[in-house]
């Protein structure tokens, strides 16, 4: 069964029918937002059943759209958290990827600015590496980008999409080591993105992120994960009731090959390890439970089939 990420947007009235339908079809709900009279459900559903959900949702004024970024956690890396880089463009981009279903986190570097003085510390590196993809937002000068990128990419293991002021081909030429995606003509600016030309640039960033993530999905498909992170999320939600008391908007953040559990590591790591998924197989058997560098959260990294020799 191939699961595809979609977003359902409709009225609050009878939306529980849609939730039941998704669950009955074997899908997983990643996030549910209730905004006034509207409900937005981001979920994974079987590919063949998208038509059915669309048909059943139609009388309820429901709309189903493809959301390739659902179930991904994206790090939007800003060179600093000063007025120079915030709120534009960092927040605009972080907000835009969120609209398309991704969970985005802003990583503001302590010393990301400048040419000679730019640096990346171990905490920033580890936090970025906990995401599925990192979007680097750089400045307008190719000299600076060329000079500082080797330092800022040191130790980064996740795919990187780089946005900068120079043209795309210039970025491709000057950046060493090479990264997975480039978006040119999006450097530092001090106004809100509202012109159509600027919005199309945001779409270009999304297209590049989607392209890089699809490539990563293809790689993952060659050696499939022992369990789908979305399924793991359901298991934890059912068997670890403490997660229901967490007030964070996404207590369980689904990633492409893992899960961020927003519970304290010291208290709940063992509980998670011993949680049974099916037939006596516990989460500890098929996933690594590690402390996250983000607060005292837990990061669950699902092992591939080649390591565990099982897929459930």
Partner 1 sequence: MQAIEYFEVECTEKLGGEYYRQIANDVLLDHNLLRVIHKMHIYIDPKVPIFVAVGVLKKVTTLVRVGDIANVNPQEGKMTLAISDETWLAPMLKIFWDRFGKDHVEQPDRFTVILYGVTAGAREIEEIAIADPSQALYKDLIYALKCTCPEGFRVRSENYGAEKFSFVASEDTLTDAGMALIKEKFAFMGETP
Q: Which residues bind partner 1 (CB under 8 A)?
A: 79-80, 82-85, 113-118, 139-144, 165-167, 187-191
Looking at the Cβ atoms of 37 and 196, the one nearer to partner 1 is 196
CB of 140 vs partner 1, minimal distance in Å: 4
Distance, CA of 153 to CA of 258 (rounded, Å):
23
Q: How far is the CB of 134 from partner 1 (least distance, A)?
A: 20
Q: What DSSP assignment string belongs to 158-197?
A: S-EEEE-SS-HHHHHHH-SS--SEEE-S----SS---SHH
Q: Which is nearer to partner 1, 171 or 287 (CB)?
A: 171
The secondary structure of 81-104 as a DSSP string is SSTTTTTTTHHHHHHHHHHTT-EE
Token representation of residue 177: 């080591």
Report the nearest approach of partner 1 to the CB of residue 29 (Å). Answer: 41
Bridge partners of 195? none
Q: Kindly state the smallest distance separating residue 196's Cβ from partner 1, in Å.
A: 17
Backbone angles phi, psi at 107, to 5 degrees: -110, 110
- In the sheet with 258-261, reading across from the earlier edge strand, the strands are 252-254, 258-261, 298-302, 287-291
**In angstroms, rounded to a whole number, what is the distance separating the alpha carbons of residues 33 and 39?**
6
Contact yes or no for 20/27 (Cβ under 8 A)? no
Pick 95 or 198: Cβ nearer partner 1: 198
Q: Whole-number minimum distance, CB 97 to partner 1, in Å? A: 23
Give 268-285 as a DSSP string.
Answer: HHHHHHH-EEETTEEHHH
Nearer to partner 1, 185 or 239 (CB): 185
Beta carbon nearer to partner 1, 141 or 305: 141
Rounded to the nearest whole angstrom, what is the least distance from the CB of residue 143 to partner 1 in the complex? 4
168 or 231: CB nearest partner 1: 168
Instruction: Report the nearest approach of partner 1 to the CB of residue 161 (Å).
Output: 20
Q: Which is nearer to partner 1, 62 or 112 (CB)?
A: 112
**Residue 168: Cβ within 10 Å count:** 18
Structure tokens given for 94 = 């972080």
Cβ(20)–Cβ(45) below 8 Å = no
Minimal distance, residue 197 CB to partner 1, in Å: 13
61 is written with which tokens? 């004024």
Alpha-carbon span 57 to 219, nearest angstrom: 34
Pick 5 or 164: Cβ nearer partner 1: 164
């Amino acid at each position: 069964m191939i699961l595809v990420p979609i977003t359902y947007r409709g009225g609050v009235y009878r939306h529980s029918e849609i939730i039941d339908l998704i669950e009955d079809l074997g899908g997983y709900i990643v996030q549910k937002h209730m905004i006034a009279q509207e409900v937005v459900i981001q979920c994974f559903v079987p590919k063949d059943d998208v038509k059915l959900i669309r048909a059943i949702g139609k009388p309820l004024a429901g709309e189903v759209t493809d959301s390739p970024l659902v179930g991904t956690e994206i790090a939007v890396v800003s060179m600093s958290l000063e007025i120079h880089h915030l709120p534009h463009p960092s927040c605009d981009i972080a907000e835009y990827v969120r609209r398309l279903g991704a969970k985005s986190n802003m990583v503001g570097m302590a010393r990301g600015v400048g040419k000679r003085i730019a640096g990346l510390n171990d905490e920033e590196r580890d936090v970025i590496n906990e995401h599925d993809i990192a979007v680097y937002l750089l400045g307008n000068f190719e000299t600076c980008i060329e000079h500082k990128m080797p330092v800022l990419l040191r130790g980064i293991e996740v795919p990187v999409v780089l946005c900068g002021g120079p043209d795309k081909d210039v970025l491709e030429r000057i950046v060493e080591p090479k990264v997975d995606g480039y978006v040119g003509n999006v450097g530092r600016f001090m106004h809100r993105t509202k012109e159509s030309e600027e919005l199309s640039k945001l779409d270009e960033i999304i297209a590049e992120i989607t392209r890089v993530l699809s490539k990563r999905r293809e790689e993952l498909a060659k050696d499939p994960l022992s369990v789908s992170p979305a399924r793991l999320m359901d298991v934890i939600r059912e068997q670890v009731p403490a997660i229901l008391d967490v007030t964070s908007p996404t207590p369980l953040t689904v990633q492409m090959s893992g899960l961020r559990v927003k519970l304290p590591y010291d208290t709940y790591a063992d509980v998670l390890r011993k949680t049974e998924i099916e037939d006596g197989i516990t989460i500890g058997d098929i996933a690594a439970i590690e402390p996250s560098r983000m607060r005292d959260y837990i990061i669950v990294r699902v092992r591939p089939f080649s390591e565990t020799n099982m897929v459930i």
